Amino acid sequence: MTVRVQTEDFDIGCELASMRLAQPSIGALVSFVGQVRDINGGDAINTLTLEHYPEMTQKALEAIALDAKTRWDVIDTLIIHRVGMLKPLDQIVLVAVTSAHRGEAFKACEFIMDYLKTSAPFWKKEASNQGERWVEAKVSDDEAKRRWDK
């Protein structure tokens, strides 16, 4: 179970290779990559700056990964989240989950993303030619998280 919060970019190929090669009992690797989009709500984005709460972020992400591990039969999880100033097409987040079979890995990976979006202390500020604005939380993210309560 690895959690990294960093300003530097990450190499998806290296990260996924070391995840899948860790154990020959791994049959499935599901991953999610989030990247900065060029447009949000009609405005062209120049930069996206991620602020976070360092003392809480690591703990919150580890708690989410642990929760996923208790819910599904996964072998390992990886969460890498960037902070600082990013631009369109930059990678923001990588979540990867390995398991023996695919169903568990798909569910755990989506669960981690849904919880990360609603529980991990990150805040995005966009800069466009119209100025800066804090990104608003989306109701759809709360709904996505609640699906897992059932």
Partner 1 sequence: MKIKVLYFARLKEAVNYSTEDIDLPSDIKTVTALKNYLSKRGEIWANLFNGKQVVRAAINHVLVDDLAAIHAGDEIAFFPPVTGG
Residues at the interface with a second copy (CB under 8 A): 11-14, 16-17, 20-21, 24-35, 37-39, 88-89, 91, 100, 102-103, 105-106, 109-110, 113, 140, 144
Task: Quote the strand ranges of the chain, DSSP E.
Answer: 2-6, 28-35, 39-40, 43-52, 74-82, 84-86, 91-99, 122-128, 131-134
Which residues 13-72 are close enough to bind partner 1 by CB under 8 A? 34, 50-53, 55-56, 59-60
Phi and psi dihedrals of 135, rounded to 5? Answer: -70, 135
CB 92 within 8 A of CB 35: yes
- C-beta of 4 vs 124, nearer to partner 1: 124
- Minimum CB distance to a second copy, residue 123 (Å): 17
Q: Pick from a second copy, partner 1, none: which does 10 bind, CB < 5 to 8 A by kind?
A: none
